[in-house]
Each structure stands twice: as C-alpha cells, then as structure tokens.
Structure 1
Amino acid sequence: MKNEKGFTLIEMMIVLFVVTILLLITIPNVTKNQKSISEKGCDGMVKMVQAQIQAYYIDKQSFPTSISDLMDEEYLEENPVCPDGSQIHIKEGSAYVEKNTSD
C-alpha cells in the first residue's frame, strides 16, 4: 500500500463530534443571555444619545427638545433605536427609552 497522508474517516467523525458538542454548549448560553445582551446594547445607545445631548448643550446653550433636533444639527446621523426596537426620546435634557409594546 502507498503511504498516503490525510484524515481517516474516524478522525473526521471525531472532529465533527467535538464541534457538535461545542455548538450544543454554546448556542443555549447565547440564547439564554439574549435579553441581557439586548438591554446592554440599549443602555449603550442611550448613553451615546445623552453624550450628544451634552455636546448640543455646549454648542447651543440649550437642550434639544427632540431627537429630530439632534438629527437636524447633525449630532446624530439616524434615529437611534435599541436592538429590541424600543425608541429613544428626549425629555428635559435627558435621553430615555420608550419600551416597544408590541411584545
């Protein structure tokens, strides 16, 4: 017989088995933590909008009354929306989240 180098069928099956086990461990953890991931993404978006409100205040000496004020003055490129679809609004110089009620 020739000495051919390569993977045997058994080696390939062992690799597939290990990959399958890793996927079975990983996927439930990601889906279980999806809500927490979404909340942290939304918190980050609110903090980013709040920073733009402060920049607007420094430049204009007044707070914006709505997100559209920030967009019109190019402090924001687009309307900020949380990963779960919740809208971010401004009231009295602070950003807050209006939860999506379609859930």
Structure 2
Amino acid sequence: MIIIAGHVYVNPDELEAFVSEARATIPDALVADGCLFFSCAIDDPEEGSMIMLERWRDQEALSAYLATPKVEALFAKWGSKMRNEVRKFDASNERAPMEV
C-alpha cells in the first residue's frame, strides 16, 4: 500500500481557489481502481496550507490517477505557485492503531 501525506502551501489569497480545484479531482480519485482513501482539507488559512491524505493499493494505481487530465491540469496550473511538502510512503503491516 502507498500512503500520500503532507502539506501543500499556496499564497493565502489563492488558497480557496486552489482547494476548490484540488477537491474537484476527488470524485475521480474515489472511483479510480486502487484508490483506498482520498481527502484534503484546509489546515491553516493564514499560512495558505492544505493537508493531503491518500491511500493507494500500489504505485500502478497512483500513477494512473496522476496521469489523468484533471490532475495533470491541476499541477500545470498550480505547480509553480505551490510549495509541495506532500510525501509518498510505502506501507506494510497494516493494523488498528491500538494494536502493537
């Protein structure tokens, strides 16, 4: 499993527009083969930060989603305007939080 997690930072004046456009990709993600979870939310409006959290079955599923026209357009438009501190993690040994 792959976990995508972290913050994206944009100019606070553009945060609402960015979040709206980022959220427009969520319906496509949720129906994509291999998407296990996908969410984003404004974290701190004053610093222009948004939290991203995603779970994907594997790299193939994530790569297919990232290659969709909406996602490519989002990065083409916002890539140079954002500081992307989102990271990808390979996960194994999935279990409930209280399990050792």
How does the TM-score come out when normalised to structure 1?
Answer: 0.28
Q: Which has the larger radius of gyration?
A: 1
Higher strand share: 2
Higher relative contact order (CA 8 A, sep 6+): 2
How does the TM-score come out when normalised to structure 2?
Answer: 0.28
